[in-house]
Amino acid sequence: MSFIRVLALAGLAALLAPARALASPEPPVQPRLYPVGGRFSLAATVGISVFDTLTRTGTLEVRAGWDFSEWLGLDASVTGALSGHTALADRIGQHLLQTPAVGTVDDLSDLWQLKAMVLAGVRLAPVYGKFNLGADLPIRFQAYLWLGGGAAWLDRTSVVICRNVTSREQGTCGDWFTESRVAPVASAALGLRLFTGVHGAVVLELRSLVWKDDYLLGVDRAAAEAGNVTGQRAPSPGFTNTMLVQLGYAFIF
């Protein structure tokens, strides 16, 4: 085993050992009505983006998971997404096109849109609790922190680089500059599994997706409108953070 692997495993063991030591005193809840340790789960969720500025996204995700213990699990998921520009993004493009195509323009950040994604990550669920929805109707839940990453298929449609202006007066474009790429994505989420029974739970998550941004600077507007997109890649484009609220159901076998 390589030295890096040994270090990684030692670090993981160090991370788990104090958690295990903390868990060794008599657990306050025995036995859990809805144990998950050693069980496989299959979940489907739908999600919508929140705090949208220039893009909005809707997702459909299928997720498979394995719980090693009551507090640690592993998930892998595949997501398909429908995304597009917000009305604000469209207005920005429209107003820019209504001005004469003179000089250069820098493209805007945070315009990449999610099309598909695969993720894998760790689910840490140290919290198990319950609350009463009504008289004698306790709902049990697990709260967890999800950390992981994967790959995202992204598309980008510019709102400042137009290759074919159809109406200067109305600020409409027939061919906005588009790009596609596959990029690494990091993800973190806070979630709840609200148990409906031993074999199922409603899943509610607030998820963050982060990928590196990428756009052009110094694009000559006139040349672009003639079909020749110039400019250079931004040297430090920063990162795009997309927040999703996901709701779904998990079948626990």
Contact residues for another protein, defined by CB under 8 A:
1, 5, 8-9, 12-13, 16, 19-20, 22-33, 35, 37-38, 50-51, 53, 68-72, 88, 92, 95-96, 105-110, 126-133, 135-138, 140-141, 143, 160
Looking at the Cβ atoms of 80 and 149, the one nearer to another protein is 149
Cα 44 to the center of its chain, rounded Å: 15
CB nearer to another protein: give 153 or 216: 216
With CA atoms as reference, report the closest residue to 82 among 61, 110, 53, 107: 61
Q: How far is the CB of 5 from another protein (least distance, A)?
A: 6
Least CB distance to another protein at residue 65 (A):
14
**Closer residue to another protein (CB): 116 or 176:** 176
**Distance from C-alpha of 78 to C-alpha of 63, rounded to nearest angstrom:** 6
Q: Least CB distance from residue 229 to another protein, whole Å?
A: 16
Output the DSSP codes for 111-133.
Answer: -EEEEEEEEEEEEEEEEEEEEES
Task: Give the nearest distance from C-beta 180 to another protein in angstroms.
Answer: 23
List 221's β-bridge partners, or say none.
none
Minimum separation from the CB atom of position 169 to another protein (A): 18
∠ CA 240-206-14, rounded to 5° = 90
95 versus 182: smaller Cβ distance to another protein: 95
- Indicate the helix (H) or strand (E) that contains 134: none
Report whether 46 contacts 247 (CB < 8 A): yes
Handedness of CA 165, 168, 170, 171 (dihedral sign): positive
Instruction: Note whether 126 and 147 are within 8 A (CB).
Output: no
Whose Cβ is closer to another protein: residue 28's or residue 227's? 28
Output the smallest distance, CB 32 to another protein, in A: 6
Nearer to another protein, 76 or 151 (CB): 76
